[in-house]
Chains A and B, each alone.
Chain A
Amino acid sequence: EAGVTQFPSHSVIEKGQTVTLRCDPISGHDNLYWYRRVMGKEIKFLLHFVKESKQDESGMPNNRFLAERTGGTYSTLKVQPAELEDSGVYFCASSRAGVHGYTFGSGTRLTVV
Chain B
Amino acid sequence: EDQVTQSPEALRLQEGESSSLNCSYTVSGLRGLFWYRQDPGKGPEFLFTLYSAGEEKEKERLKATLTKKESFLHITAPKPEDSATYLCAVQAAGNKLTFGGGTRVLVKP
Once A42-B99, A45-B97, A56-B96 are accepted as A-B contacts, the answer to whether A100 and B31 lie under 8 Å apart by CB is: yes
- Taking the closest CB of chain A, its distance from the CB of B32, in whole angstroms, is 5
Q: Give the chain A neighbours of B89 by CB distance below 8 A.
A: 43
- Taking the closest CB of chain B, its distance from the CB of A96, in whole angstroms, is 12
Interface of B is mostly: strand
Alpha-carbon separation in the docked complex, A55 to B93 (Å): 12
Residue tally, chain A, CB below 8 Å to B: 25
- Taking the closest CB of chain B, its distance from the CB of A82, in whole angstroms, is 22
Contact call B43/A104, Cβ cutoff below 8 A = yes
Contact call B46/A43, Cβ cutoff below 8 A = no
- Taking the closest CB of chain B, its distance from the CB of A26, in whole angstroms, is 12
Contact call B42/A106, Cβ cutoff below 8 A = yes
Alpha-carbon separation in the docked complex, A57 to B5 (Å): 24
Alpha-carbon separation in the docked complex, A104 to B4 (Å): 20
Once A44-B99, A45-B96, A45-B98 are accepted as A-B contacts, the answer to whether A106 and B91 lie under 8 Å apart by CB is: no
A residues neighboring B (CB under 8 Å): 4, 31, 33, 35, 41-45, 48, 55-56, 58-59, 91, 93, 95, 100-107
Provide 9 A-B residue pairs closer than 8 Å at the C-beta atoms, listed in order of the A residue: A41-B101, A42-B4, A42-B101, A45-B97, A55-B95, A56-B94, A56-B96, A100-B91, A104-B45
